[in-house]
A and B are shown apart, each in its own frame.
Chain A
Amino acid sequence: MATVYINDKPVDIGTERLNCVQAAERADVHVPHYCYHPSLTVVASCRMCLIEMGDLKDGKVTMIPKVFPGCQTPVKDGTVIVTGDYAKRDTSVPPLAYDPKYVPADRAKKAQADTLEGILLNHPLDCPVCDKAGECKLQDYSFEYGRGETRLVDEKNQPPNKPELSSKITLFTDRCIMCTRCVRFTREVSGQAELQVSSRGHHSEIDIFPGEPLENKLAGNVVDLCPVGALGSKDFLYKQRVWYLKSTDSVCNRCSTGCSIHVDANKDVVFRLRPRENPQAQGYFMCDEGRHGYHHADSTERIARPLVRRGDKLVAIPYLDAAQEFRNDFETHLRLHPGAVWAILSPFLTVEEAYLAARWLKGKSQQVKLALGHVPMVGEDDTYPKDRRGRPIQPVKFTIRAEKCPNRLGVEAVLRHFEGSVVPLAKAIESAKRGEAKAVLLTGGYPDPGTLNVFAEKPNDLMLAVTDIFHGAATALAKYVFPATTFSEKEGVYVNYAGLAQALHRSCKPPLEGRSEGQFFMDLAQRNGLFNAATIRKELAAEIRYFAKLADGIPELGVKLF
C-alpha cells in the first residue's frame, strides 16, 4: 500500500505505477499540463506541470529544493507533492510537518508563471479569430496561473500558416506551443509519422515531409489533441464559436466499434463530433470516417416528411395522416395473410426501436416474419498503428471495423427473442421475389445514400414501406416512405461489436415532420404518449434476458452485456 500526499492530502494509490499528474488527479488536484497525454509517451517538454516534491519519513517532510515536471516523475510510498494550487488545498486535512523555512508552492507557482510567459512570448493575440478560444488551455491557464501583461518588447516570431498540411487539417504555425502531442500521436497511435518538428529553439515548427500530407484515417485526432488553436479542422473552421455549442454524449454510428463521442450542436445543427474517453469502447480517439460522418444529418436531400404513393407519384402528407393510412393498410395485410408480412429491422435502429417494432408486429400475429436489415460491410477491419508503408503493426491501438453499422448485435438479440433466430435479409428478398411476401416494412436510417439499393425490384402486388434518410432504389418502389432519424436525433441504446451497450442522447430535432423511429413505432402500435427510451428500456430489459442489465439505466461509459 503506497500513500502519496498531494497538497497535504493523503491518497492511497495501491500498487499502481503513477506519475505525479495522475496521482494528483486521484486527490482531485488538477496539475495543469499541455504536452502530457495519458495515451502518449511522456516528453515533459511544456514544463507546465512543474511541481514541488519531497518525502515523508518518520513524520518529517524533506522537500527537494527544485521543481519537477509532474508528468515525468513517478510517485512512490511517502511522496509529498506540492502543486502551484497549494493555496486552494482542502484545508480540512491537517498540514504536514514541513520545514518551517519552507514556503509551500512558492517555487511551483513562479515556475508555472514563468513557463506561461515563455510560451506566450511568440503566441499571437489571435483569440478573437481563433477557433479554439473558449476551450483553449492556453487561455485557461494564462488566466489562472499566468501574468497579466507581456514584457516582450521585440517583434513576435510569426511563421506563415500551413493550410496545405492536410486536406482536412490546417496549421496556424504561429499559435503552436511545441507540445508535440500531434507528432507523438502520428508516431505512436496512427503510426505513419507524417508530422515532425523542424528547425530549433524558438524557430521550431510542426511540419510535414514535402509531398506527404497528413492523410491517415486517424488524423483528425491531432486537432483534439492540440491544447491550443494551432491545428484546426477545416471541417469546423470558423463555423461556430465553441461557447455556442451544446455538448451531448452519444455514440458514433459509422462502424461497429461504437466510439463514445461528444456531439457538439447548436440550434439543432451538429457542428462537430469529438471522441469521448471510454476505455471500454475505443479509448481516447476516433477515426475521421466517424468524425466527419455526421453531414448526412444536415443534408438538404434528406427525406423530411412522410410520403405516400398516389398514382405514380409520392406525395408528402402530414405525419399523423400518413401514419394512420400506413397502419390501416399494413394491419389489413396482417389480418389477411400474416405469414406473408415481413418487417426488416435495420442495424441502425436502436435496441428500443427494434423492440417496439417487433413487439407491435408479433403482438398482432406470431406469423409475421422479422429479418435483420442490410449490414453494410466495407473491406476489412482497419487497425492502427501502421508503419510507414501502411502495414498494420502490433499492438493494435485503434480499430476501424469493416461492419459499418452501430447496432447489429442489439437488433440481432431482439430478433432472436421474437423470431427465434436471425433471418438474413437475403431470405426476405428471395421470398419477395418468389411472390410469397405481400407487405414489407423496410427500415433503414443508413447515413450513406444508396445503401438500400439492394431492393431494386419488387413484384407488383407487394406493399413496400420504407423508412430511410435518403431516397434511393427502395424508396422509388415504396408505397409509403417515412423519414428516418439519425444518431443525433434519437434516444436509445446501441450495442457495439463487443457487446457494450451505450446510450445515445438526442441533441437535435429531426427535420420538419420527421419523428424518431421510436415514436413512429409507438404511434403504429397505438401506444399512448411520447417515446421515452428509459421506460421502453425497462420493459425490454424485463422481457429479453440479453438486455437484463439495462434495467437500472446506463452508466456514462456504457455497460457490457456479456
Chain B
Amino acid sequence: MSAKTVRWVEEPKMGLFERMYLPAIAQGIATTVRHILKPQVKTEQYPEQEPKLPANYRGVHRLNRDDDGRVRCVACYMCATACPAHCIDIVAAPAPAGWKDREKYPETFVIDELRCIYCGMCEEACPVDAIELTTLYDLTGLSREEMIFDKEKLLSVWDQTTKAGTDPVRTKSGHYGPAADLPK
C-alpha cells in the first residue's frame, strides 16, 4: 500500500453543543428509555414456537435415493475431499452386479455429525446430487456414537424428510451448478 492510496479523513470537529456532552447523554438516555418503555421484541419462544427456516437451511445431512430407491452416491469422495472438518468417511466398492448405470458405490458412508460444521461444502461438491443438508435443525443425542450417522441413518433422513415434505430435492445440477436452483 503506497502513501498515495491512503486517504486521510479529518475527524469531524465538535462544536459547543457536543462539547457539553450532557445534552448528548440526555439524548442517549432518551433513546434507551424509549426502548425500555416500548421494547420491540422479536424473540421467538423456541420450544413452543417452531422457527421458520429458509429452504437453503443447512441442517442434518441426508443421502438421496434415486428413482429406484438406491443410494445416489457414487462414492467419488468429492464431499470428503471438500469437507473442511474431515467428518465424512466413505468406503467405496464396485457396485452390485445389478446396477447397470454405475461402477462404484459407497459400501459405507459415515458422517460424524458432531465434527461437522454444517458449511454445506459437501452438498456443493457432490456431482450427482447425492448428499444434501436438510432443514432438520434440532439434532440431539445422548452419546457420541449415536451422533455418527451411517449410510442407513442418512438414507432414513431422506425417507423422513421426503415423507414429511419439508425438504424437496434441493439441488439440481443445472447450468450454474447445484446452488443456483433453490426452490422458492
Contact: B76 with A238, CB < 8 Å?
Answer: no
Contacts of B169 in A (CB 8 A): none
Query: Within the complex, which residue of A129, A239, A241, A243 is in contact with B103, where a contact is CB–CB below 8 Å?
Result: A129
Contact: A237 with B128, CB < 8 Å?
Answer: no
CA separation between A534 and B77, bound complex, in Å? Answer: 38
Nearest first, the 3 A-B pairs at minimum CB distance are A128-B76, A238-B92, A129-B104
Contact: A238 with B94, CB < 8 Å?
Answer: yes
Q: Is A366 an interface residue (CB 8 A)?
A: no
Chain A residue at minimal CB-CB distance from B77 = A241
Contact: B74 with A241, CB < 8 Å?
Answer: no
Would you give the shortest CB distance from A129 to chain B, in whole angstroms? 4
Interface residues of B in 108-140 (CB under 8 A from A): 127-128
Q: Is A421 an interface residue (CB 8 A)?
A: no
Contact: A238 with B93, CB < 8 Å?
Answer: yes
Given the interface pairs A161-B103, A241-B81, A243-B81, the reply to whether A128 lies near B74 with Cβ below 8 Å is yes
Q: Is B102 an interface residue (CB 8 A)?
A: yes
Per-residue CB contact flags for chain A residues 227-246 toward chain B (1 = under 8 Å, else 0) read 00000000001110101100
Other than the known A129-B75, A129-B102, A241-B76, what 13 A-B pairs have Cβ atoms closer than 8 Å? A128-B76, A128-B127, A129-B76, A129-B104, A161-B103, A238-B75, A238-B92, A238-B93, A238-B94, A241-B77, A241-B81, A243-B81, A244-B77
Per-residue CB contact flags for chain B residues 83-117 toward chain A (1 = under 8 Å, else 0) read 00000000011100000001110000000000000
Chain A residue at minimal CB-CB distance from B128 = A128
Contacts of A244 in B (CB 8 A): 77, 81
Given the interface pairs A128-B128, A129-B104, A161-B103, the reply to whether A237 lies near B94 with Cβ below 8 Å is yes
CA separation between A237 and B105, bound complex, in Å? Answer: 12
A127, A238, A239, A241 interface centre (most CB from chain B within 10 Å):
A238
CA separation between A244 and B86, bound complex, in Å? Answer: 12
Contact: B81 with A238, CB < 8 Å?
Answer: no
Chain B residue at minimal CB-CB distance from A126 = B103
Contacts of B104 in A (CB 8 A): 129, 238
Would you give the shortest CB distance from A343 to chain B, in whole angstroms? 44
Contacts of A128 in B (CB 8 A): 74, 76, 78, 127-128
B81, B103, B127 interface centre (most CB from chain A within 10 Å):
B103
CA separation between A129 and B93, bound complex, in Å? Answer: 10
CA separation between A244 and B76, bound complex, in Å? Answer: 13
Per-residue CB contact flags for chain A residues 108-136 toward chain B (1 = under 8 Å, else 0) read 00000000000000000011110000000
Would you give the shortest CB distance from B14 to chain A, in whole angstroms? 59
Contact: B81 with A129, CB < 8 Å?
Answer: no
Given the interface pairs A161-B103, A243-B81, the reply to whether A129 lies near B94 with Cβ below 8 Å is no
Interface residues of A in 199-250 (CB under 8 A from B): 237-239, 241, 243-244
Would you give the shortest CB distance from A244 to chain B, in whole angstroms? 8
Contacts of A172 in B (CB 8 A): 103
Contacts of A126 in B (CB 8 A): 103
Residue contacts A-B, CB under 8 angstroms, 25 given: A128-B74, A128-B76, A128-B78, A128-B127, A128-B128, A129-B74, A129-B75, A129-B76, A129-B102, A129-B103, A129-B104, A161-B103, A237-B94, A238-B75, A238-B92, A238-B93, A238-B94, A238-B104, A239-B92, A241-B76, A241-B77, A241-B81, A243-B81, A244-B77, A244-B81
Would you give the shortest CB distance from B88 to chain A, in whole angstroms? 12
Dominant secondary structure of chain B at its interface with chain A? loop
CA separation between A129 and B78, bound complex, in Å? Answer: 10
Contacts of B77 in A (CB 8 A): 241, 244
CA separation between A97 and B74, bound complex, in Å? Answer: 55
B74, B102, B104, B128 interface centre (most CB from chain A within 10 Å):
B104
CA separation between A243 and B104, bound complex, in Å? Answer: 18
Would you give the shortest CB distance from B174 to chain A, in whole angstroms? 15
Contacts of A239 in B (CB 8 A): 92
Chain B residue at minimal CB-CB distance from A172 = B103
Would you give the shortest CB distance from A278 to chain B, in whole angstroms? 32
Would you give the shortest CB distance from B110 to chain A, in whole angstroms? 15
Chain B residue at minimal CB-CB distance from A241 = B77
Contacts of B93 in A (CB 8 A): 238
Contacts of B76 in A (CB 8 A): 127-129, 241
Contacts of B103 in A (CB 8 A): 126, 129, 161, 172
Contacts of A241 in B (CB 8 A): 76-77, 81
Chain B residue at minimal CB-CB distance from A129 = B104
Would you give the shortest CB distance from A556 to chain B, in whole angstroms? 30
CA separation between A237 and B128, bound complex, in Å? Answer: 21
Interface residues of B in 146-183 (CB under 8 A from A): none
Would you give the shortest CB distance from A172 to chain B, in whole angstroms? 8
Contacts of A243 in B (CB 8 A): 81
CA separation between A126 and B101, bound complex, in Å? Answer: 12
Per-residue CB contact flags for chain A residues 138-172 toward chain B (1 = under 8 Å, else 0) read 00000000000000000000000100000000001
A128, A161, A172 interface centre (most CB from chain B within 10 Å):
A128
CA separation between A126 and B95, bound complex, in Å? Answer: 14
Would you give the shortest CB distance from B50 to chain A, in whole angstroms? 37
Would you give the shortest CB distance from B128 to chain A, in whole angstroms? 7
CA separation between A238 and B78, bound complex, in Å? Answer: 13
A126, A127, A129, A239 interface centre (most CB from chain B within 10 Å):
A129
CA separation between A161 and B101, bound complex, in Å? Answer: 12
CA separation between A274 and B127, bound complex, in Å? Answer: 29
B74, B92, B93 interface centre (most CB from chain A within 10 Å):
B92
CA separation between A128 and B81, bound complex, in Å? Answer: 12
CA separation between A124 and B76, bound complex, in Å? Answer: 15
Per-residue CB contact flags for chain A residues 422-449 toward chain B (1 = under 8 Å, else 0) read 0000000000000000000000000000
Chain B residue at minimal CB-CB distance from A238 = B92
CA separation between A235 and B93, bound complex, in Å? Answer: 12
Would you give the shortest CB distance from A155 to chain B, in whole angstroms? 15
Would you give the shortest CB distance from A168 to chain B, in whole angstroms? 15
Per-residue CB contact flags for chain B residues 15-53 toward chain A (1 = under 8 Å, else 0) read 000000000000000000000000000000000000000
Contacts of B75 in A (CB 8 A): 129, 238
Contacts of B81 in A (CB 8 A): 241, 243-244
Chain A residue at minimal CB-CB distance from B103 = A129
CA separation between A126 and B75, bound complex, in Å? Answer: 12
Would you give the shortest CB distance from A241 to chain B, in whole angstroms? 5
CA separation between A237 and B93, bound complex, in Å? Answer: 8
Chain A residue at minimal CB-CB distance from B126 = A128
Would you give the shortest CB distance from B100 to chain A, in whole angstroms? 10
Chain A residue at minimal CB-CB distance from B127 = A128
Would you give the shortest CB distance from A165 to chain B, in whole angstroms? 15
Would you give the shortest CB distance from A464 to chain B, in whole angstroms? 41
Chain A residue at minimal CB-CB distance from B78 = A128
CA separation between A237 and B107, bound complex, in Å? Answer: 13
CA separation between A127 and B102, bound complex, in Å? Answer: 12
